[in-house]
């Protein structure tokens, strides 16, 4: 691997300025679990790594009046041991547990996972079902967007040149919302998802309120199963309805057919995982 320059600014403004001054020869570095692999195989024109892990506003997990703020530099290990996440966003904790091995979870950040933007990113479905939003900072200041708008295509986000992901917000109304995440890979550990799925629902007066289903590795970006959600809304949560919703979710996916799994196998995984995360979310909601 060729030698690179390294700098660790302590503010978003300084990091954005460094990126814009150095153009295509600079790129942000977080935990490096994706980036260092990429640089080893295809270093391209990169000459300067701008380490964003020391920027205070990119760090930390805190509950505010608006909801839960998770800094983009928060690692999976931090999420897995954070009392607020354990109590109020268990699906994000479950997703974090499935990522890589201990070393990856201690270095890899939730922000880096979203920016790398692969369809199988495990943090994405768990955040999507909680209606997460992301804050980004660039030359024109900050902007906030729904997390779905952040994903544009495989390895392509809506970040403009020199923009950085600052943090992720879960709205207050969704903290503690019954939710579940499930990932299926070819091995129990160190496996990318063949399919991953998350669901979140509330139940009021025996009816499903605000159902959310998100699926990964089944389309160019992680997706919401909007038609399946519409079927569930304001209905009684019966096993038959959940089976029907899982069947509709299959029609909303466009999984690939490759050497790791056939199209039919992935469709069956969507069916099974959707049923599983919905059933578990209903169980949690019913027992509250």
Ligand X SMILES: Cc1cc2nc3c(=O)[nH]c(=O)nc-3n(C[C@H](O)[C@H](O)[C@H](O)COP(=O)(O)OP(=O)(O)OC[C@H]3O[C@@H](n4cnc5c(N)ncnc54)[C@H](O)[C@@H]3O)c2cc1C
Q: Which residues bind ligand X (CB under 6 A)?
A: 27-35, 37, 52, 72, 98-100, 104, 107-109, 111-113, 115-116, 121-122, 164-165, 190, 192
DSSP string, 63-110: E-SSEEEEETT-BHHHHHT-HHHHHH-HHHHHHHHTSS-HHHHHH-BH
Short-list 52, 47, 50, CA closest to 4: 47
Residue that is written with structure tokens 């969507």 in the block = 270
How does DSSP classify residue 218? S
β-bridge pairing 133-138 and 141-146: antiparallel
Query: Residue 80 is encoded by which pair of tokens?
Result: 């897995």
What's the closest the beta carbon of residue 173 comes to ligand X, in angstroms? 26
User: Nearest distance from residue 195's CB to ligand X, in Å?
Assistant: 13
Tokens of 26: 């600079």
- For the CB of residue 96, give the shortest distance to ligand X in the complex, in Å: 9
CB-nearer residue toward ligand X: 190 or 234? 190
- Decide whether 40 or 254 has the Cβ nearer to ligand X: 40
State which residue, 70 or 231, has the beta carbon closest to ligand X.
70
Residue 41 Cβ, how far from ligand X at the closest point, in Å? Answer: 12
Nearer to ligand X by Cβ, of 98 and 221: the residue is 98
| b (16+ CB within 10 A) / e for 6-44 | eeebeebeebbebbeebeeebbbbbbbbbbeeebeeeee
Of 125 and 211, nearer to ligand X (C-beta) is 125
State in angstroms the smallest separation of the CB of 143 from ligand X: 13
């Amino acid at each position: 691997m060729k030698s690179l320059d390294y700098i660790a600014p302590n503010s978003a403004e300084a990091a954005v300025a460094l990126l814009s001054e150095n153009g295509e020869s600079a790129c942000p570095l977080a935990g490096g679990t994706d980036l260092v692999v990429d640089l080893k195989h295809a270093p391209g024109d990169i000459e300067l790594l701008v380490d964003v892990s020391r920027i205070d506003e990119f760090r930390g997990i805190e509950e505010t009046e608006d909801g839960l703020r998770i800094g983009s530099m928060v690692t999976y290990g931090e999420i897995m041991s954070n009392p607020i996440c354990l109590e109020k966003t268990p699906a994000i904790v479950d997703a974090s547990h499935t990522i890589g091995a201990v070393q990856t979870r201690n270095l890899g950040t939730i922000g880096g996972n979203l920016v790398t933007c692969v369809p199988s990113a495990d943090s994405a479905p768990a955040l999507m079902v909680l209606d997460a939003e992301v804050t980004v900072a660039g030359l024109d200041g900050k902007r906030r967007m729904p997390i779905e708008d952040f994903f544009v295509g495989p390895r392509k986000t809506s970040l403009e040149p020199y923009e950085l992901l600052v943090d992720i917000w879960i709205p207050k109304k969704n903290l503690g919302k019954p939710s579940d995440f499930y990932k299926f890979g070819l091995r129990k550990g160190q496996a990318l998802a063949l399919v991953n799925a998350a669901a979140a629902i509330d139940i009021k007066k025996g009816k499903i309120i605000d159902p959310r289903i998100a699926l990964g590795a089944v389309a160019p970006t992680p997706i919401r199963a909007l038609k399946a959600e519409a079927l569930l809304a304001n209905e009684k949560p019966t096993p038959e309805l959940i089976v029907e919703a899982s069947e509709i979710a299959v029609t909303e996916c466009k999984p690939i057919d490759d050497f790791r799994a056939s199209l039919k196998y992935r469709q069956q995984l969507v069916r099974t995982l959707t049923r599983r995360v919905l059933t578990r979310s209903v169980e949690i909601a019913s027992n509250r």
